[in-house]
Copies of this chain bind each other. A is one copy, B any other.
Amino acid sequence: MFEYKNNELYAEGVRVKNIVDNVGSPVYVYSKGHFKAQFEKFNKAFSREHVIAFAIKSNSNLAVIKTFASLGAGADIVSKGELFRAIKAGVDTSKIVFSGVAKRDDEIEYALENDIMMINVESEDELYNVNRVAEKLNKKARIAFRVNPDVDPKTHPYISTGLKKNKFGVPYEEAYDLYLKAKELKNIDVYGIQFHIGSQLLDTTPIYDASVRVADLMRRLTDKGVEFRVVDVGGGVGIVYDEKTDKEPDVNLYARQIEEAFRDFDVKLVLEPGRFLVGNGGILVSKVIYHKTNGQKNFLIIDAGMNDLLRPSLYKAYHKIAPMKKTGSKAIKCDIVGPICETGDFFARDYEIEDVPNGNFIVVFSAGAYGFTMASNYNSRPRPAEVLVSGDSYRVVRERESLEDLIKGEIL
């Protein structure tokens, strides 16, 4: 839903220039239309009973969460803060699943008090802790184990999570024993099974492979009297960052494969898409401050930094970058860098882009996921505003931080 008309970028029906003129720079701009379209594409792919639990960590703005909640989505949360956000945004708590390796007692309590769908338990220590907290509250905790199917998602080492050497989940061999132990615990309701093998998967076959392995485990456990009511297949469905090399996953195929893998079980499916729903529904708009040449290298210096969008620095992630207004000036090859005093503060290196004069704007695409959520105040920079566009109108859904916000809570 970001398109050039007469060489100017529009977010749905809104000229992006209007937004930046009014709200300032840098600014995140989201397209509600894109969010809805992605949700519907994903939702329609499944024919069995399912819950789409939006992975809030990808974009946790309240207005974004609410957008999905009003379409019927639940939430995949990983902290008390994310549950707080989900509740504020009106997510039906019976559609919330809670993952994460380090759930504290107060987080487990908060989840049980709000009667969420289930807690995805990631270790034996956590199992006994959930049981203990539930006992204290006189409740029965619905749980799934996050099972580690040990399927290599062939992805970046930092975002591959389903391998034995990673901190996530319970080893496949151990899960069998843990389910039998859990069944005996008074304050545990063995409710489902979960897995998640990695992020930004463009080929979803590894998810199918994992599903088959998990279904095998379920069969063995069903024989022992474990009743599964939910299978949560995690997230990880990727998006196109680079049009030259990436191809959007076929969600219809993905859905068919998952439904096929679990055809023997009368379960509700839970899906945890995050990036797929929001990634290409967001851009970061930034002003060009200076041009500069150091030796043979050109630099386009912009007013956004790694504090605003960390992905290029942290993962060396590729983002498409283009002028907000195409003027037909000749292309330059340059590093696009920010104001932060670190060599690692860059958005692209040796990137070919139509030259953009100082004072004009550039757009970093595919910034809807893991953009603002990872923003910091590094170098004492207030975090940018977030804007949600819907049709011909837009509104600020998070105000730009002020200098006073930077020192909130500090006591001289």
Contacts and interface: CB of A to CB of B under 8 A. Distances in A.
A100 B409 contact: no
Contact of A410 (B62, B104, B344): B62
Interface stretch (A73-81, A237-245, A252-260): A73-81
A299 interface: yes
Contact of A341 (B60, B62, B99, B335): B99
Contacts of A346: 167
A397 to B, nearest CB: 6
A205 interface: no
Contacts of A378: 57, 373-374
A180 interface: no
A94 interface: no
A113 interface: no
Interface string A186-219: 0000000000000000000000000000000000
B341 A406 contact: no
Interface string A61-72: 111001000000
Contacts of A227: none
A131 interface: no
> How many copies are assembled?
2
Contacts of A161: 341-343
Contact of A289 (B104, B373, B374): B104
Interface stretch (A10-18, A45-53, A318-326, A379-387): A379-387
Nearest to A150: B295
A290 B102 contact: yes
Nearest to A160: B343
Contacts of A290: 101-102, 123, 125-126, 129
A379 B411 contact: no
B344 A314 contact: yes
Nearest to A164: B295
Nearest to A290: B125
Contacts of A398: 409-411
A89 interface: yes
A399 interface: yes
Given A291-B125, A411-B63, A380 B79 contact: yes
Interface of A: 56-57, 60-63, 66, 78-82, 84-85, 88-89, 99-104, 122-126, 129, 148, 157-161, 164-171, 289-292, 294-297, 299, 301-303, 305, 310, 313-314, 335, 337-346, 358, 373-382, 386, 395-401, 403, 405-412
27 contacts: A81-B379, A81-B380, A81-B382, A81-B406, A82-B379, A84-B380, A99-B341, A100-B339, A101-B301, A101-B337, A102-B290, A123-B292, A125-B290, A129-B290, A158-B313, A159-B343, A161-B341, A164-B295, A164-B296, A165-B294, A166-B294, A167-B343, A374-B376, A398-B409, A398-B411, A400-B409, A401-B409
